[in-house]
Structure 1
Amino acid sequence: MNSKNRYVLINLLAFEFILLNVVLVVCLMFRLPDFSFSDTAILLNMVRLIGIYNLTWLVIILYIRNNEFYFNPDYGYFKSIVTSLFFFVGFVMSVVILLKIRYFPRSTFIIPIFIFSYLNLISHKYLLHYLKKRASHLFSDTLLIGSGYDSENLKGFTNAMTQYGYNVIGYLEDKKKLVKNELDMSVFGAVDDLSKILKDRKIDEIFIAMSGVEHEKILATIKIADSFGVRVKLIPANPLLMSKNYKAVAMGDLAVFKLRESPLDHFSTAILKRLFDFCFALVTLILLSPVFLIIAILIRLDSKGPIFYTPYRKGEAADTFKCYKFRTMSVTEDPLHNAKSTVVNDPRITRIGKYLRKTDLDELPQFYNVLRGDMSVIGPRPHRVNLQDDFRKSVNDYMVRGYVKPGITGWAQVNGWRGPTITDEQKSQRVKHDLWYIENWSPWLDAKIIFLTIFGSHHKKAF
């Protein structure tokens, strides 16, 4: 962060500080209409309370938020506000109780936090645009070098840079016509003109698109920028596989792209999901144990054979595991090599099996798989071996589903893609929804899928 970025951040923090205290004073005066400055005890507690709020806000700034929150409202913005809100409520209430601050209704401690969080949520984006328009001198004047991105990518990039406190003033490019005709920015000349440009103009930072500039020229450009004391940032060539979630990480002296980055790749979120799976599965198995017993008795009375059907399915990283289900057919095949899928009005389905399949009750034993760690409560549905081979040949990126554990229900299922997988659209849509879930996972998304699974409309089974 350079000095100009810091000035922008200071302005944002100053606005937030003023907003917080205005909200506090207004709320306190509204709750205490008969307040008088002669009420020393109430005045002292009011000052202490405002001090607690400001201390909490400072802790949030230093330890919960980061620069992304202020310079890019579209990146984790809502999540940061919600996290701050919960911390605000918990911290303030704890300190108020410890210090035994009185004379205020309990709602006085909560209402200002919600009002401040809401106003903060809707104001930052507009404040950044206002600063850009009225105080552009606070933003870092930036020069782009290279031709590594097409016009659409470059337009999006320059627009996003505004949210990071940068002002793109021009471009150095050997192919002048291409850029000048398609991009609304000045073309100052070729890459070799950098020394002259830095002498004539005040440039704060330079961004170099590495894929559009020769290696030797990049080194020469960095050397020239260093001689003028201008910061340089390198933009690596885009990875061959474009995905919503990918990031570059430093490994030794090299930058490495992590493609298809998923929130579940992080240790903390993976542990969170595993803890939820284990607790949810354990509670479900305990609470539904009477239902399990009744279903087991009905299956045994309805037809001969085992109570459970245990086919082999493909799980995380293409590992094979034994999947537990209530038996719904009178004939069970070799669980490892069976290739005959269920069809409409399948004569093998028993009387009780028809009801179990219609209500999805035959899937309940899979909570035991969740408890064992073979499956998750939410995730892509596990496929049989032959079905996976079929999908793998006909649908691109199908095996990416194996990045995470399969689930009892998933995003594809609650969106209706749980019927037959005969057409290419049925196959591709199921995979598309599974990949979207992997890249966009959150605890809230899992909660939504569980709700839709229980209370949403039911569709024909595919498994």
Structure 2
Amino acid sequence: MIRQSQSFLSQLYAFLDFICIEIAFLFSWWLKFQSGWIAFESTLPFKHYLLWSVMYGVICIFFGYSINFYQAKRKKGFSYEIARLVQIHVISLLLLLSVLFVFKEVHVSRSYLILFLVNGLLLTSFYRYVLKTTLRRLREKGYNKQFVLILGAGSLGQRFARNLQLHPDLGFEIVGFLDDADIDDVDLQWNRKKVLGKIDELEDIIERLIIDEVIIALPLEAHNKYGKIVNVCEKAGVKTLIIPDFFDYLPSRPYFDNFAGMPLINVRDIPLDEFRNRFFKRLFDITFSLAAIVVTLPVMALVAAAIKLTSPGPIIFKQERVGLNRRKFMMYKFRTMKVMPEGMSDTQWTVENDPRRTKLGAFLRRTSLDELPQFFNVLFGHMSVVGPRPERPFFVEQFKEEVPKYMVKHHIRPGITGWAQSNGLRGDTSIEERIRHDLYYIENWSFLLDIKIIWKTIVNGFVNKNAY
């Protein structure tokens, strides 16, 4: 077995990152100034660029250590490493530019710096991918293993063990279970010899066997044993991880918060709870909605005129919807139906061949042109360009009793389009499926995801066959 010290691996990763940065520097120098492919002569000698490349490498390594990038990432996916690498290199380049400004190195080629950044990222990503793939294959063959002891042979512990066995590439091997229940009483789907003893025998087991991590998968009633277990593990230098017995209530990526000096588990990780994310999303909404209003203004004028000429009643239809934090607002649409008698409640779904629709309204609904005025809702702050679709209060009250986690969608602003709509869940489609997509969007929001949804909405077209 390959059992190298983690500090050595961290130093090795940092050293290889630095080497890749310097190789990228040499390649970028040759490409920019020596290859002849780019007609450009350097106004600074080679040694100046070499000095700044070394400084850039040092900044990268220092920043990497400061954000714990060189800690063990056995449990992390490759996408995590790529995201961190981009963050490290971009911020390091900005820091280098600040240093260049201070030292008045104004003649450094900007295009060379871009080449350097891109080549450094590509080279570092490539070697890390090769290394991570190689390590995964070695672990699948039984090398570089880490040994896990699970405290609790009940359903929680067995579920964790089954999941772990589905990922042999992570290189974890289950040594066994400890449980205070009688072996004959444990409904174990594994070999019963895997139950090595009682919880009180933990210290002896750790001394006799090689254990890297202890997983506590005990029921809540065993909470009083946690303190002793953690003390035994820390005394032996063994890592301890706890699977909460209520983890079914947690999201896929729970995180710890701090309130009044006490750690709290946040049961719903919402990226848009962060002010920075909300600020940039709102800035994008204002910019995009203004541009959309300007571009579609002639179309909206034509639609308004057509509505006025083809049916009596107002051009804009205002309907109460439930939005952010369950607050109600009036959503704007072009009117597509005949004016309802005063006092008649609007608690019906639109159905195929609905007699309430006007002839023009059927076309507007099918092409989604009736939703263009919602860009004004975005501008006023009632809605976002991308988000879960808002619903009428009557149906919100109905769905919150029938559809699990339905009300979670109101943690963020509703949108004109969303992850559900861009995946074809528009109009007369499953509410449960739409909520699953909305929850995914809420918990995995990013600016790039918003761009992807807008792009999919445009590419898939605005024609909605389910819009009645």
Aligned CA RMSD, in angstroms, stands at 4.1
Q: How far does the alpha carbon of each residue in 1:32-84 deviate from its partner, in whole angstroms, 9 at most, with x for none? A: 6699xxx9x74413522431441342254145664578444426333323434
Cα 1:335–1:278 shift into 2, 3 Å? farther
Asked if 1:427 is matched to 2:431, the reply is yes
Q: Which amino acid aligns with 1:280?
A: F
Moved more, 23-32 or 361-370: 23-32
Map of 2:465 onto structure 1: 460
Aligned equivalent of 2:293: 285
Name the CA shift for 1:65/1:161 in 2 (closer, same or farther; >3 Å): farther
Q: Distance in 1 between the 2:122 and 2:191 partners?
A: 41
Counterpart of 2:448 (choices 444, 448, 452) is 444
1:357 and 2:376 are equivalent in the alignment: no
- Secondary structure of the 2:366 match is helix
Q: Which moved more, 1:207-216 or 1:377-386?
A: 207-216
Number of the residue aligned with 2:229: 221
Find out whether 1:147 has 2:153 as its counterpart: yes
1:13 counterpart residue number: 14
Corresponding position of 1:47: 50
Q: Distance in 2 between matches of 1:64 and 1:336?
A: 60
What secondary structure is seen at the aligned counterpart in 1 of 2:205? helix
- Of 279, 292, 299 in structure 2, the residue corresponding to residue 271 of structure 1 is 279
SS at match of 2:321: strand
Structure 2 residue identity aligned to 1:266: E
Deviates more, 1:95-104 or 1:375-384: 95-104
**Partner Cα separation in structure 1 for residue 235 and residue 116 of structure 2:** 55
Q: Which residue of 1 aligns with 2:422?
A: 414
1:119 maps to 126
Cα distance in 2 for partners of 1:207, 1:129 equals 22
Q: Which runs of 5+ in 1 are unaligned?
A: none
Aligned to 2:384: 376
Residue 96 of structure 1: CA displacement? 6.8
- Contact kept? 1:262, 1:438, Cα under 8 Å: yes
Give the CA deviation at 1:119: 0.9
Amino acid of the structure 1 residue aligned with 2:318: T
Does 2:266 match 1:258? yes
CA–CA distance in structure 2, aligned partners of residues 335 and 263 of structure 1:
42
* Separation of aligned partners in 2, 1:316 and 1:103: 48
> How much does 1:202 deviate?
6.0
CA distance in 2, matches of 1:429, 1:42: 62
- Pair 1:69–1:350, CA change in 2 (3 A): farther
CA 1:318 to 1:32, structure 2 compared with 1: closer, same or farther past 3 Å?
A: closer
Structure 1 residue 222 displacement after superposition: 3.7
Given that 1:239 and 1:257 are in contact with CA atoms closer than 8 Å, whether structure 2 keeps it comes out as: no
Residue 129 of structure 1: how far off its partner (Å): 3.7
Instruction: Give 2:443's aligned amino acid.
Output: E
Contact preservation (8 Å) 2:179, 2:198: yes
Distance 1:161 1:264, change over 3 A: farther
Cα separation, 2, equivalents of 1:332 and 1:124 = 67
CA, structure 1 residues 349+378, in 2 after alignment: closer, same or farther (shift >3 Å)? same
Distance 2:27 2:258 in 1: 49
> Identity over aligned residues, as a percent?
29
Following superposition, the deviation at residue 438 of structure 1 comes to: 1.8
Distance 1:280 1:131 in 2: 49
User: Which residue of structure 1 aligns with residue 396 of structure 2?
Assistant: 388
CA contact (8 A) 2:254 2:265 kept: yes
**The residue matched to 1:337 in structure 2 has which SS?**
coil
The verdict on how the C-alpha distance between 1:155 and 1:28 changes in structure 2, with shifts beyond 3 A counting, is: farther
Distance 1:134 1:160, change over 3 A: closer
Measure the CA separation in 1 of the matches of 2:271 and 2:377: 23
Matches within 5 A, 1:23-38: 23-28=24-29
Q: 1:211 aligns to what?
A: 219
Residue number among 167, 178, 182 corresponding to 1:172 in the alignment: 178
Query: Contact 2:153–2:179 at 8 Å: present in 1 too?
Result: yes
Q: Distance in 2 between matches of 1:81 and 1:185?
A: 44
Is 1:238 the counterpart of 2:242? The answer is no
Deviation sequence 1:177-211 (CA, Å, 0-9, x none) = 76986279965432222232344456565443342
| Alignment match of 2:338 (pick from 327, 330, 351) | 330
Query: How far is 1:253 from its partner?
Result: 7.3
Deviation (angstroms), 1:142: 5.4
Where 1:182 maps in the other structure, the secondary structure is: coil
CA distance in 2, matches of 1:71, 1:333: 65
Aligned residue in 2 for 1:99: 105
**1:57 alignment partner in structure 2:** 60
CA contact (8 A) 1:379 1:408 kept: yes
CA displacement 1:344-364 (0-9 Å, x = unmatched)? 233433343333223212111
Q: Deviations over 1:237-275 (max 9, x none)?
A: 233425323334454576543223222233322222222
Contact 2:325 2:412 in 1 (8 A): yes
Provide the aligned length of Structure 1 versus Structure 2. Answer: 452
TM-aligned CA deviation for residue 459 of structure 1: 1.8
TM-score norm. by structure 2 comes to 0.79
